[in-house]
Structure 1
Amino acid sequence: MRYVLALFFYRVLLLLLTPILLLVLLIRSVNHPEYRHRLFERLGFFPKPSTQGGIVVHAASVGEVIALKSFIEKLLVNYPDLPITITSFTPTGSAQITKLFGQRVQHGYLPLDIFPCTALFLHRLKPKMMIFMETELWPNLISQCARQQVKLLLINGRLSKKSLTSYQKISALIKPCLNRFDKILTQSQENLSHFLQLGALKNRCENSGNLKFDISVNEQVLNKKAELAKLLIAEDSLPKRTIWLVASTHEGDEAIALAAFKTLLRQYPALLLVLVPRHPERFEHVANLCLEQQLTLAKRSENTIINDEQVWLLDSLGELMAAFALSDIVTMGGSFSEIGGHNPLEPALFNKPVIVGHNMSNFNEIMQQLRQEHAIIELAGSTPANESSRQLANEVDALMQHPKRQQTLGENALNVVLKNQGASEKTLAQVAQLLPNRANITNSKPLGDNS
């Protein structure tokens, strides 16, 4: 009864907030026009033509899409006659899906979790299974799926202590939501414990490992690496420049990196700083920050060869993995604030030494393994920005002074990635358990343009 009331109030609240939610999307579209494109998809109007009766996998944004790549590829191989649909919630996630999978999958935005919108979405796709990732809990959609006997799977489950505390405050809504999943696969034992504390049924939960380890270098990354490398050709009379990449930056990260960079320039005048902001709407702001620091700047969007510019701003999408491959030292953004960091395994895949700030709380299990293998450099606990800049400059300087240490850190990090792979296979096995009978696959019905 408590759940029925909680779900009712949740639905009413979201209905009342619908105009505000749409207004937020329109406001975001001022600096990022893609947010106002395909707005009807946010209301449940999945693009036509499409095919019903398949598997829907939700990947909120870029990081989730990349983490799911290996698993999606396995789905495509093992379920060739089922339509595989990938949904996202951000334009950058959408672009990444198109880039990685093209026409091999169906793609659209997951609608707002509002009763009429989610009902329309399910009516259009009629999926056999819906797969959510990490902490993507959509009470309306999950409730409707359960009622329509759509199989529900939560994969790579992640629940931090902070999220656990927040969800416990609304446990009347969240606990029954969790227990509508046929299976919850978590990315670590710690996360499994948190889901159980929240009230998930023990017999439906299992630690299957972290999908983020199942990354690989594909032809697209190699081609993009070659494309970027052409812009970094050094003159014959000059040595190759050392590249320091600061990736997935948020507000405040660039100021710390730029201050450290100006310190390093005194000793390493040829050092090239590559900045990759996490969100496209901040590209211009970051460019202005560099110019305000009186640093010479080149933009990837201008597609010009890098000569003696001091900073290269990657104001582009889908090129970060290739940039990792070209870099010498990597610092992960989002780790100097409450963001909680971004995936250090991606640069590790390319044997790169990685430096992170004091807060990598989004990757506790991964960080624990990297620490154990001496495969990561962490800055000291929460400090003022100027102290973080000083520490960062010192760590980059130490690596530049000792190339052998760079190599060792990179090799250790790659070993951590390789020995923890396999979560995709375990996740695929769970899909097979929930969809054991594929006799009706050929009955998947096309959703026509006029239906």
Structure 2
Amino acid sequence: MRYQLSLMLYRLVFLGLLPIAWLLLQLRSIKQKAYRQRIGERFGFLPRQFKAGGIIVHAASVGEVIALKSFISQLLETKPNRVITVTTFTPTGSEQVKKLFGERVQHCYLPLDSTFCVAAFLNKLKPQAMVFMETELWPNLIAQSAEQGIKLLLINGRLSQKSMDSYRKLAWLITPTINRFDKVLCQSQVNYEHFLALGADVARCKVSGNVKFDISVNQTIEDKQQELAEFVVTERLIWVVASTHKGDESIALNAFTELLKSLPQLLLIIVPRHPERFNDVASLCLAQGYNLARRSTQEKVTSDKQVWLLDSLGELLPTCALASVVTMGGSFSDIGGHNPLEPALFKKPIVVGPNMSNFVEVMQQLIAEQGIIQLTDQDNVDMTDELSKVITDILLSEKTQQTLGENAYRVVTQNQGASARSVKQLLKLL
């Protein structure tokens, strides 16, 4: 009874927030126009040609789409005649779905978690099953799906200590929501224990591994790698700073100033996480006096160019292949870092900042195998000095580059298989 009352309150609150959600989308679209497009999908109104009766797989943004690539590909191979709908929240995630899967899947935005939006969405698609990832817990969508007999699967379940502490304050809503899932597949033993501590039914939960290890190089990536390589006119050492957020670029550029003193031909490639920041990052590079090339202009990266800004979408993975060393952004602040397994796939040495809280178990494995270097200093000034020193040491030693890269790659290959186990569990539910 308490859960039903809580759900009713949640639905009323979310209904009242719909106008605010619409306004926020409009404001977000000022910098990224894609947020004002296909607005009907946000409210559950899907294209007329969409087919019903299949499986919905939700991937919030770019990182989740890439992580689910193997799972979705295996699902398409196993059930070639079943309709697969992949949903995202962000336009960048949407573009990634189109690039990876094209017409092989249906794609739309996941609706806002309001009663009427969710009802319209489910009424159109009438799915047999819905697959969510990590901590995507939408009480209204999950409740309505369960009430309609739609099978619910949470894969790659992740629940950090911080998230668990926050969710405990809402346990009256979150715990019953988790227990609406037919199965919760956790990415590690620690996450499994966190779900149980939050009140998840032990019979519903099991450890299946992390799908983010199930990455591979295909012909498309190899072709894109070759395309990007042709832009770099001269052979140079390359430092890729990937998935950057505000503040990351300043730290990297300050470290780059020091690096150029001993490595004057070093090329810095910056790959911002969000497209709306492309111009801001370009302005920052120019303001600091660097000779800049931008991917969007299609200009060659000649020997006089010091920084190459990848202001493009879906090119991070092949860019890692060009690197001499890779630093993952989002790890120098409270963001919690981004996936270090992507450069590991190409046997590249990886350096990250102090905060990799989004990848605790992955970091433990990489550190144990000496496949990554993590900075320790929290102070921006000292962190810049530490970063420039670490990158210099790596670039001046081919043996260090090779050892770090091979150790990281071994961690990837030894932990693959979670996608196959997740597909098997889904088929079992169906």
1:56 aligned onto 2:52: no
Give the structure 2 partner of residue 390 of structure 1: 385
1:369-409: CA deviation from partner (whole Å, max 9, x where unpaired): 0011000000014x221111111000001111211011000
Residues of 2 paired with 1:77 and 1:319: CA distance?
A: 25
Residues of 2 paired with 1:329 and 1:413: CA distance?
A: 12
Give the structure 2 partner of residue 29 of structure 1: 29
> Where do residues 156-195 of structure 1 align in structure 2 (5 Å cutoff)?
156-195=156-195
1:281 aligned onto 2:276: yes
1:427 aligned onto 2:404: no
Whose RCO is larger (CA < 8 A, sep 6+)?
A: 1
Residues of 2 paired with 1:204 and 1:353: CA distance?
A: 39
Task: State the 1:230 CA deviation.
Answer: 1.0
Task: State the 1:36 CA deviation.
Answer: 0.4
Task: State the 1:6 CA deviation.
Answer: 1.0
**Sequence identity (%):** 59
Task: State the 1:65 CA deviation.
Answer: 0.5
1:254 aligned onto 2:246: no
Q: Pick from 307, 310, 314: which aligns with 1:314? A: 310
> Where do residues 218-257 of structure 1 align in structure 2 (5 Å cutoff)?
218-234=218-234, 240-257=235-252
1:365 aligned onto 2:341: no
> Where do residues 320-399 of structure 1 align in structure 2 (5 Å cutoff)?
320-381=316-377, 383-399=378-394
The SS at the match of 1:107 is: strand
Task: State the 1:427 CA deviation.
Answer: 0.4
Task: State the 1:429 CA deviation.
Answer: 1.1
Give the structure 1 partner of residue 140 of structure 2: 140
Give the structure 1 partner of residue 405 of structure 2: 410
Task: State the 1:219 CA deviation.
Answer: 1.3
1:291-327: CA deviation from partner (whole Å, max 9, x where unpaired): 1111110000000111111100000001001100111
Residues of 2 paired with 1:310 and 1:414: CA distance?
A: 29
Amino acid at match of 1:23: L
1:208-244: CA deviation from partner (whole Å, max 9, x where unpaired): 000000000011111111111110122xxxxx21000
Residues of 2 paired with 1:278 and 1:387: CA distance?
A: 24
Residues of 2 paired with 1:314 and 1:290: CA distance?
A: 13
Residues of 2 paired with 1:409 and 1:113: CA distance?
A: 44
Amino acid at match of 1:187: Q
Task: State the 1:125 CA deviation.
Answer: 0.1
Q: What is the count of residue pairs matched by the alignment?
A: 429
Residues of 2 paired with 1:71 and 1:400: CA distance?
A: 36
Task: State the 1:48 CA deviation.
Answer: 2.4
Amino acid at match of 1:416: V
The SS at the match of 1:359 is: coil
TM, length-normalised to structure 2: 0.99
- 8 Å contact kept, 2:324–2:395: no
Show structure 1 runs of 4+ deviating over 6 A: none
Give the structure 1 partner of residue 153 of structure 2: 153
Task: State the 1:9 CA deviation.
Answer: 1.0
Give the structure 2 partner of residue 446 of structure 1: none
Residues of 2 paired with 1:46 and 1:328: CA distance?
A: 45
1:124-170: CA deviation from partner (whole Å, max 9, x where unpaired): 00000000000100100000000000000000001111110111001
Give the structure 2 partner of residue 440 of structure 1: none
Residues of 2 paired with 1:418 and 1:115: CA distance?
A: 43
Give the structure 2 partner of residue 447 of structure 1: none
Residues of 1 paired with 2:392 and 2:128: CA distance?
A: 54
The SS at the match of 1:224 is: helix
> Where do residues 100-119 of structure 1 align in structure 2 (5 Å cutoff)?
100-119=100-119
Task: State the 1:82 CA deviation.
Answer: 1.1
Q: Pick from 254, 258, 265: which aligns with 1:270? A: 265
Residues of 1 paired with 2:172 and 2:415: CA distance?
A: 36
Task: State the 1:428 CA deviation.
Answer: 1.1
TM, length-normalised to structure 1: 0.94
The SS at the match of 2:57 is: strand
Residues of 2 paired with 1:81 and 1:219: CA distance?
A: 24
Give the structure 2 partner of residue 76 of structure 1: 76
Amino acid at match of 1:231: F
Amino acid at match of 1:327: A
The SS at the match of 2:231 is: helix
1:22-60: CA deviation from partner (whole Å, max 9, x where unpaired): 111110100000000000000001222011110000000
Give the structure 2 partner of residue 443 of structure 1: none
Amino acid at match of 1:414: Y
Residues of 2 paired with 1:165 and 1:245: CA distance?
A: 35
Amino acid at match of 1:331: T
Task: State the 1:433 CA deviation.
Answer: 1.0
